A and B are shown apart, each in its own frame.
Chain A
Amino acid sequence: MIAIHDLVKRYGAFTAVDEVSLEVMPGEIHGFLGPNGAGKTTTLRMIAGLLKPSSGRILVNGHDLATHPEDAKMSLGFIPDRPFIYEKLTAGEFLTFHGGLYGLGEPGIGERVREMLEMFELGKWEGELVESFSHGMKQRLVMCAAFLHRPRAVVVDEPMVGLDPRGARLIKDVFRKMSARGVGILMSTHTLEVAQEMCDRISIILKGRIIACGTVAEIRAMGEGDDDQLTSVFLKLTGGSGLQEIDEIV
């Protein structure tokens, strides 16, 4: 569903993403993990079409993003870490406009908008201005927009940030349902419990390079210990816990 080959992004002499390749299959939830500044958001923004890769190839639903950007984007939903929503539009107006960008119109758009708002528990807020929404509500509204046009693949950057436990549970359920319907999801997260609970496969990126890729069990095995949590493996792969240094400073 999403395939990236040898993706590189350079900012002057600094290489933010270095020869990254990965594949997200239909119905798969693929976790994209890494410490801050590792290159996760840059990679996701290139897949979404917001950043131009220095080199490499991105395919979405078989369409090359560089040569057929509209076809590729038509199959993709993107949920950014810092979503933009027109503050002076109502939730309903925003989703109707967003649907229009993907070619959805009357008849059917009104019903689809209400369906999505209900699914993300925002039904009663349809006529309210976005500026009155909390962060979590805005996050859910952006997710409504991302799934509105029935994409074949979804790219999500930090989906759980700012969500309450109920909201987080809701999002997990929606992602599971979507993947069951064949939607491929590439999700970056810092919450290792979420990755462990939801992802079929995980890629770990460090300093712009993929350093590990596999199922949760395979990644866990790389830890060479009997700890069944991802945290210790993640810390080991990405350069230790730094606990000794903390101890010295404190």
Chain B
Amino acid sequence: MVRAYPYLLLPHVLSSRNRARRRERGDFTRGLLFVAVGIVVCAALFQGSFWLTGHLEDYAELGDFLLRMGLSWLFLTFLSFLAFSGVVTALSTFFLAEDLRLLLVAPVATRRIFHARFLRTVVQASWMVVIFLVPVLMGVGRAKCAGVAFYATALITIVPFSIIPVAAGTAATLLLVNTCPARRARDILMLMGLLFAASLVIVLRFIRPEQLLRVESLPDLTAFFATLQSPITPLLPSFWAGETLFASLQGGRDLLHAGALWTTALASVVAVRAASERWYFSGYSRSQEAPKARFTRFRALDVVARALPLSIVRRQLLIKDLKIFLRDVSQWSQLLLLLALVLLYLYNFRVLDLSRIPYMSGFLKNIYAFINLGMAGFVMATVAVRFAFPAVSAEGASFWIIRTSPITLHDFLWSKFWTALAPMLMLTEVLTITANEFLGVDPFLKVVTALAIVFMSFAMVGLAVGLGARYPRFGADTSQVAGSYGGVAFMMQAVLFVIVMIVALGWPSSVYLQQQLRGWPLSFSQESLMALCFLGAAALSLAIWIASMRSGVSALERMGD
């Protein structure tokens, strides 16, 4: 009896059901938080697209033109995201998933495995895009008072639109795995994808959309639109999707482009399935080969570590942590995206034209200094939850080596702390100092924020490493660790800490600036209160740092009880 391919998806369905039935600690809180954040994001997207479409309505034909172009851009962005996501997901579902070892020894035809895996790839790669698209399209539909036909068209557009890039991504993966081993291919893809994402973000920013808001740049608008239109080509599925939906919004039907979407989707599935039947098994077989560390020995790291004034234990822990981090492309490549975002962030400050508001510019600059501090704090929290929090969990099944070695868990955890602190402090200090320099904020604030970053880095990294030791997940990968109960708890505490720090530093700084603006000297009571606030902020940071680390060490020591 040959079962239909959805049978192969049964373990995932049953696993999800069992996971829901037997909840782990923190599952409910995490679920609630994600749902709440999801609802807020979806509501914001709906409201944003509703507001924007409503305003475009005021400009008659120009508004329609902009809406049409906007839809094409929206789908173009999602198309590139889906293609990349398709490649990465296909690599995992078709070649690296553990359960393939079970399925491939069973008498299951390659065609059935392909169908099951492809369906899973499409769902896994596109669910996020769909979740973002739905509220956006609902907002557009609502603003244009569209009927049921528009929503039905949206549904039949999104399905083939998701399938085409994922099929292309799967084909690219098949080709890549057959030319180089899957484990190396994953590294290459991860790197390429992140470079692509980073460059996309930078290119979009450098188009400088803010010039739309400037009356004096009106003559440049034609060139601006020409730039915007250049990547929109009628040969891409994103254009077909945009056109189909735009026609539906106008009350018509664009069967040509809808037909193009569906026929291309079906043809691409048939083509990838044929390719899979021919090359899948040889690709899977190649994917079993392990990568070699030939190019990633990092001898220089050994030399540098030897020069540092560290004990042998700490030196070896540092070398081990850094080499493992640098050899795992999926880890460090995320820093590239972060770097791109940081560059954009600084660029935004560079082009920020506060002189357009002459009476407020001095005041605004100093307000921005605190917004900048808050942003640096959030960047710090994000980096910490992704890299410092999983530091203990990253030991994984190898943690027994640490436990059975003649080193204290205190030394072990503090080694993790210093390894994470150095890059974190450097990143956020550079970010804050450069942004403040671009803004030209008051020298007093420059010193306050630079010092605040030092204290915040110690507290945040201490909190992340300490909580990571209290809630380790040795069996999970780092992204799962970041999303675990402990990770969510860290993010909440970190955000709260940043807010408290901004309030504690913002109030005395504003007193100082107001007095300076008026040309009045500070009174003794004002000076005392300011000192109290600054000392309080410093004491809070130090307390969080030390208490978290101590609590982490004792949690590790209790682990064997």
A: residues with CB less than 8 A from B are 11, 45, 48-52, 69-74, 76, 78, 80, 84-90, 93-94, 97-98, 100-103, 105, 129
Contacts and interface: CB of A to CB of B under 8 A. Distances in A.
A100 B6 CA distance: 12
B107 A51 contact: no
Given A86-B11, A89-B11, A73 B18 contact: no
A135 to B, nearest CB: 12
Interface string B1-22: 1110001101100111011001
Contact of A93 (B14, B22, B102, B282): B14
B7 A100 contact: yes
A59 to B, nearest CB: 15
A97 B284 CA distance: 23
Contact of A51 (B19, B99, B285): B285
A50 B98 CA distance: 12
B11 A97 contact: yes
Nearest to A68: B107
A97 B281 CA distance: 23
Nearest to B108: A101
Nearest to A51: B285
A184 B11 CA distance: 30
Given A86-B15, A89-B14, A100-B3, A48 B107 contact: no
Given A70-B108, A73-B107, A129-B18, A80 B3 contact: no
A76 B288 contact: no
Nearest to B103: A101
Given A88-B19, A90-B18, A129-B18, A80 B106 contact: no
14 contacts: A45-B288, A70-B107, A70-B108, A72-B107, A73-B107, A74-B107, A86-B15, A86-B99, A89-B14, A89-B18, A97-B11, A101-B7, A103-B3, A129-B18
Contact of A50 (B10, B15, B288): B288
Contact of B18 (A70, A76, A88, A98): A88
Nearest to A80: B101
Given A88-B15, A88-B19, A89-B11, A71 B107 contact: yes
A58 to B, nearest CB: 13
A156 B3 CA distance: 27
- Cβ-closest 5 pairs across A and B: A88-B15, A52-B285, A101-B106, A73-B107, A70-B107
A45 B285 CA distance: 10
B500 interface: no
Nearest to B7: A100
A141 to B, nearest CB: 12
Contacts of A11: 289
Main DSSP-derived SS at the A contact region: mixed
A103 B2 contact: yes
Interface of B: 1-3, 7-8, 10-11, 14-16, 18-19, 22, 98-99, 101-109, 281-282, 284-285, 288-289
B109 A70 contact: yes
A183 to B, nearest CB: 16
A85 B103 CA distance: 11
Contact of B101 (A69, A84, A102, A105): A84
A102 B18 contact: no
Nearest to A66: B281
Nearest to A145: B102
A49 B10 contact: no
Given A70-B109, A89-B11, A50 B18 contact: no
A94 B98 CA distance: 15
Nearest to B8: A101
Contacts of B285: 50-52
Nearest to B286: A52
Given A11-B289, A52-B281, A52-B285, A101 B15 contact: no
A151 B107 CA distance: 12
A84 B288 CA distance: 15
Given A73-B107, A93-B14, 10 more contacts: A51-B288, A52-B281, A52-B282, A80-B101, A94-B11, A97-B11, A98-B106, A101-B103, A103-B2, A129-B18
B101 A50 contact: yes
A170 to B, nearest CB: 23
A70 B1 CA distance: 12
A93 B7 CA distance: 13
Contacts of A97: 10-11, 14
A84 B18 contact: no
B399 to A, nearest CB: 17
Contacts of A89: 11, 14-15, 18
A80 to B, nearest CB: 7
A94 B102 CA distance: 11
Contacts of A102: 106-107
Contacts of B3: 100-101, 103, 105
B323 to A, nearest CB: 24
A78 B105 CA distance: 7
B427 to A, nearest CB: 37
Given A88-B18, A103-B2, A48 B105 contact: yes
Contacts of A71: 107
A80 B16 CA distance: 26
Nearest to A76: B105
Contacts of A76: 105
Contacts of B16: 88
A102 B282 CA distance: 23
Nearest to B288: A51
Contact of B105 (A49, A85, A86, A87): A49
Contacts of B8: 101
A215 B281 CA distance: 36
Contacts of B288: 45, 50-51
Contacts of A84: 98-99, 101-102
A71 B7 CA distance: 19
A218 to B, nearest CB: 32
A91 to B, nearest CB: 12
A71 B2 CA distance: 12
Given A69-B107, A73-B106, A86-B15, A105 B281 contact: no
B461 to A, nearest CB: 32
Contact of B104 (A49, A85, A86, A129): A49
A98 B101 CA distance: 12
A195 B22 CA distance: 43
Contacts of B2: 103
B22 A129 contact: yes
Contacts of A74: 107
Nearest to B17: A88
Contacts of A86: 11, 14-15, 99
Contacts of B7: 100-101
